[in-house]
Amino acid sequence: MLEENKLKTTEYQVDEADDMPDDTAGDNDANDAMFTVSYGARVQSPNVWIIDSGATKHMSPCRCMFFDYVPFSTSEPVSLGNGTVCDAMGIGRVAITVVVNDEVKRYTMADVLYVPQLVNNFFSVTAATLKGHEVTFQRCRCTISRNGQLIATGHAVNHIWYVDVDTVQSPTDVCAELKTQVKEKELNLWHQRLGHVNERRLKTAVSKSLINGVDCANGDKLPFCEACVQGKQARKPFKGLADVQTKHKLELVHSDVCGPMSVASLGGARYFVTFTDDFTRCCRVYFLKQKSEVFEKFKEYEAEVTNHAGCSIKTLRTDNGGKYTSREFETYLKQKGIRHEVTTPYTPQQNGVSERLNRTLQEMALSQVMHAGLPKCFWADSVSTACYVRNRLPVVPLNVSPFEKWYGKKPDVSHMR
């Protein structure tokens, strides 16, 4: 119901999910009409809240005051004291700024019904007491408290009780500020779910409908992310090839090994190897205990992608490391008719696609581990997740996601948490 932000009026925070609206409340009423409310003075002002002991829910006719609003699929009836029935169109949270002993405090009220036909805001005594608050009426003074702490006060005028609110601050302005904060919180949540993806990249995917299931607005602003700063620091960026060089799947596959890591993974791995199809930029990641396992992982990758794509790998581009140039590896490539392109020693720029991918996966993985506060032994799980996410986000050369390019359908990320 009422939750104090513990801050002055210039600073506040939004309620957590446990105070979200619940449009199922009141289903136990025997009458067809869901709620009952007294109908009194006609004072059309968002700053006026009438205390009503007959209302079963907080109600407001001012849509602009809601900063977290959920519309009903069908309107719900609200029975007034004079027998009139109005329609409640939705439910949400409303900010209210009260004055208690000359001190201004800001609260948020949850489960507030939006009833456009009303002319007053109604503060429900029933809803307050169900949330654990105590409402006490005296001669000309009303107090609202919880656990012995005074939350708000009220006064009576012509036998009608009003909450003592701050008339200086505009409820519309307060609502706009809270809406902005809620939007930033939603965008930040998806930023974290999608491997601490770049803000512009996330917004591009949302605005162009390249992914499904993301419910944040494109105009929102991502707040400062300390985990990204810690996880994405770099000395100097590489300039990889920006254009796709192929016209079909598996014409060219880029590969590179990253490691050793300072800490072994939970499975004992200290390296990971990536394989990236140039045409779709769809990548796979495999974890290694020793570099000598690269050959076996390549055969595993080849069997998987050739079976799915229905064609064979034409060219493999790697660095000049021994794990790719062993006699066993070279013999296998010749038997399969796969051309092997190797880079000049000490020039990783020639293998820019794989080098850039390694950096992307490490940055995403490290940011996720930093944000979650997990030990470094979870790096392999985080890299695997980063690879999964990266395949479902648009990449620069394609302007679509590798998943869509490979599978021919848009990815859905609504299941991610």
Residue recorded with tokens 């109908």: 39
Annotated catalytic residue, options 52, 220, 256, 277:
52
Average pLDDT value for the chain: 81
- Tell how strand 121-124 and strand 141-146 pair up: unpaired
**Is 52 a known active-site residue?**
yes
Give the other-Cβ count within 10 Å of 200's Cβ: 9
Q: Tell me the domain boundaries of the chain.
A: 2-169, 226-407
Which residue has better confidence, 281 or 349? 281
Q: Dump pLDDT digits (tens) for 63-93.
A: 878 877 888 888 888 887 777 888 899 998 8
CA–CA gap between residue 214 and residue 199 (Å, rounded): 13
The answer to whether residues 252 and 314 touch, using CB atoms and an 8 Å cutoff, is yes
CATH number of this structure's domain 226-407: 3.30.420.10
| Mean pLDDT across 199-223 | 78
pTM listed for this prediction = 0.51
User: Looking at the DSSP assignment, which residues form a beta bridge with residue 400?
Assistant: none
Residue recorded with tokens 């009426």: 137
End-to-end distance of the chain based on CA atoms, in angstroms? 28
- Tell how strand 252-258 and strand 315-318 pair up: parallel
Q: Is 334 helix (H, G, I), strand (E, B) or coil?
A: helix
Say if residue 260 is preceded by a cis peptide, omega within 30 of 0.
yes
The strand order across the sheet containing 271-277 reads 283-288, 271-277, 252-258, 315-318, 339-342
Say if residue 394 is preceded by a cis peptide, omega within 30 of 0.
no
CA–CA gap between residue 204 and residue 247 (Å, rounded): 25
Q: Dump pLDDT digits (tens) for 159-201.
A: 888 998 876 555 555 555 555 555 556 777 888 888 888 888 8
